[in-house]
Structure 1
């Protein structure tokens, strides 16, 4: 049987690394023959190596994943990678293309790999006509015309010698720690976990969804979904309590108005 080869194209090195690791674990026979940081590199490496499967990030510099796919056509099986976006998911779920949502979830990856393996066993041709790709590009247009900066959806942190992708929804709070920021989140099975990252609290706050993350102290940002209640303290300050962890954090006078009763 001819070896099955693959190309991974994504402008984020960590996401390429994560996907490569997951593929090695769940489809060890698949040979990753090339990686690309942008659409131009992806096309060049495809033409040089002609991999069987291409994992293409939808939004890449140079050429988008859709534009690369239009040039590849039916010469490879295509899997698109997209950020969690209403318009993007709507476009893919109503189409025939396989897709993965960042950060890649094992259940979805398993479904995608199972479909790919079945097509290869049955020697089914790749599905990538110009009309289908053009339709997909049009469906994704609302997402493309949206602001380029989307709220941060996960944070990278070094944990136990490996790089961990922490979904922002699992974070309880962020706390400034000199040159670092402490990330406190609920890990596997809801266990409390912490990690230090080099990104400043100010830089993180600028990237987080303001409807979900709120600064309550010059050194503390909390996930409002993780907050249980706030109790008053002396000197017009308050204490903030969490649903799933025992820590009590201060709310300074400057930010107390966010918790005033209507």
Structure 2
């Protein structure tokens, strides 16, 4: 029987992936689950599974670093949250990957390829050179200093909005809605022509995070996050009443340590 390891710091994702594997690959036995990269290496060395499902971004050691420790002793499937640079890196490489939230159809294709490689006794592809190449591709392009001000036309005037005062940004067709704290800390809004994608590339990623396909929030402005419907969450702000949804793809950003 073929054995496998699942390594991801999200318990829900581990459970979902294990359940989907039981449906798509019933003869596969998941012999270990790890919450971080260090546990993943320890579990691999103890059990030597034939297949390892590794989250790219894990505490301790990243999925790529774990794959380096494993070498070609197992077939590796990387798991990644949807990200333009990550998908571009994988799609131009030779590694198998799954995108969060894992879809049954994509997993079925991956399982079929892995079964065929194991049947033919093909060697694993996780060589040091390929992993180094993947790590380089996963690096976003270097950018200038993070954006500090956003210019917005409000009536006949142009307002300079400090990015620290922004609560969130939302894509609105050809425009982007800027929701910030104006005079006296009162909630204010303005539309600008710069796309959400362009703004996100210029903002500090440690402060501004995408939480939905069309929404980016200032983490400094977030009060708390509560469970929502359909495996989503609701995001609450410190200084405004709006409640914004966090899609399943970005739930890991608000997972308790």
TM range (shorter): 0.5 to 0.7
Per-residue CA shift, 1:62-115, capped at 9, x if unaligned?
000000001101000000000100110000000000000000111211111110
Q: Residues 88 and 143 of structure 1 are in contact (CA less than 8 Å); yes or no, is this contact kept in structure 2? A: no
Q: Residues 6 and 30 of structure 1 are in contact (CA less than 8 Å); yes or no, is this contact kept in structure 2? A: yes
Q: Residues 234 and 243 of structure 2 are in contact (CA less than 8 Å); yes or no, is this contact kept in structure 1? A: no
User: 1:181 & 1:69 partners in 2: Cα distance?
Assistant: 34
User: 1:4 & 1:220 partners in 2: Cα distance?
Assistant: 46
1:141 aligns with 2:139: yes
What is the aligned length? Answer: 176
1:115-126 aligned at under 5 Å gives the runs: 115-126=113-124
Q: Residues 79 and 100 of structure 2 are in contact (CA less than 8 Å); yes or no, is this contact kept in structure 1? A: yes
* Structure 1 unaligned blocks of 5 or more: 154-167, 170-178, 184-193, 207-214, 224-262
> How much has 1:150 moved relative to structure 2?
3.7
Matching residue of 1:152: 211
| Equivalent position SS for 1:136 | helix
Q: 1:202 to 1:180 in 2, by over 3 A?
A: closer
User: 1:65 & 1:46 partners in 2: Cα distance?
Assistant: 13
Q: 1:219 to 1:181 in 2, by over 3 A?
A: farther
> How much has 1:44 moved relative to structure 2?
0.4
> How much has 1:122 moved relative to structure 2?
1.0
Q: Residues 81 and 100 of structure 1 are in contact (CA less than 8 Å); yes or no, is this contact kept in structure 2? A: yes
TM-score, normalised via structure 1 length: 0.60
Matching residue of 2:126: 128
Matching residue of 2:107: 109
1:1-262 aligned at under 5 Å gives the runs: 3-142=1-140, 147=205, 150-153=209-212, 183=228, 201-202=235-236, 218=241, 221=244
* Structure 2 unaligned blocks of 5 or more: 144-203, 215-223, 247-257
Segments of 4+ moved more than 4 angstroms: 143-146, 179-183, 194-197, 219-223
Q: 1:180 to 1:123 in 2, by over 3 A?
A: closer
Per-residue CA shift, 1:101-135, capped at 9, x if unaligned?
00011121111111001111111111111100111
> How much has 1:147 moved relative to structure 2?
2.3
| Equivalent position SS for 1:104 | coil
Q: 1:76 to 1:25 in 2, by over 3 A?
A: same
| Equivalent position SS for 1:28 | coil
Q: Residues 181 and 196 of structure 1 are in contact (CA less than 8 Å); yes or no, is this contact kept in structure 2? A: no
TM-score, normalised via structure 2 length: 0.61
> How much has 1:151 moved relative to structure 2?
2.1
Per-residue CA shift, 1:19-64, capped at 9, x if unaligned?
0110011111100000000000000000000000000000001000
| Equivalent position SS for 1:14 | helix
CA RMSD of aligned residues (A): 3.2
